[in-house]
Structure formats: structure tokens, C-alpha cells
Amino acid sequence: MAEWFDAGELASIEEPGSRGFALPGQEGVPFFVVRRQGAVHAYRNRCPHTGAPLEWQPDQFLDIDGSFIQCAIHGALFRVGDGHCLRGPCVNQSLQALPVQVRDGRILVDVSGLRQTSD
């Protein structure tokens, strides 16, 4: 069953840009949202290689050009559109995508998958 989290106004995330989100009852930033080329995507904040968080600093999930999601630990690059790793030690693995919708200018993310797969 879907558990929709209101991640705020679409306009609050730059184009291109990203933002991490915390969930009540969970430590750290369990997921992030990326806005690029008119689309919005959400992913679990966990590198498939190490399990570590991806961001360089708060809300910084994209590379310097804003073209790819980049892991801060080893520089792996992931496509924004599907989370597939193109370069780094986790090539051909993918980030865990979360369903996302934009309704009435607000970003809604289904976080039920985070609760089901938490370690």
C-alpha cells in the first residue's frame, strides 16, 4: 500500500537540482528527489556498492554539471532518469527508485518501499 510523503513545492527544487528528505522515525536522509529536464525522480539514498549515503553535502546529489547523480564516496555516476550506474564500482547496478508524482505543484513520493527494505 502506498505511503505518500509530501516533499514540498516543485518550485523549491532548482532545475537541475536535488534535495534530500528525512522521514519521521528514521535516522539520516533516507531518500532524495532530483529535478532535471522537466522531470522529477526519487531514489533511496543508498549507494548499491557500499550502502552509504550518496550526497557530497546536504542536498548535493548531482555532479558538478547537474547531469548525473554522483556518489560522494567513489564517484560512481548514475543516470537521473532511471538510477542506472554508468561508471564506478557498481556499473550496471541501479539505485532504488521510488514512485513520485507532482500534484498541484507539490512533489509526492511513495516511501512505502523504504520501510519494507530498511536494514
Query: How wide is the angle at C-alpha 15 spanned by C-alphas 99 and 12, nearest 5°?
Result: 75
Model confidence at 26: pLDDT above 90: no
Residue type, 85: C
Mention every residue, 6+ apart, whose C-beta is less than 8 A from residue 54.
32, 45, 46, 47, 61, 69, 70, 71, 72, 95
Please identify which residue in the block is written with the cell numbers 534535495.
19
Beta-strand pair 100-103/85-87: unpaired
Q: How high is the pLDDT of residue 106?
A: 98
Q: How high is the pLDDT of residue 28?
A: 84
- Interatomic CA distance for residues 62 and 95, integer angstroms: 14
Cell of 58: 546536504
Could you tell me the pTM of the whole model?
Answer: 0.94
Q: For position 119, what pLDDT does the model report?
A: 47
Q: Which tops the pLDDT comparison, 56 or 35? A: 35
Quick: pLDDT tens for 60-85: 999 999 999 999 999 999 999 999 99
- Cis peptide before 48, with omega less than 30 degrees from 0? no
Tell me what pLDDT residue 116 has. 56
Domains and CATH numbers, the chain: 4-116 (2.102.10.10)
Amino acid at 92: N
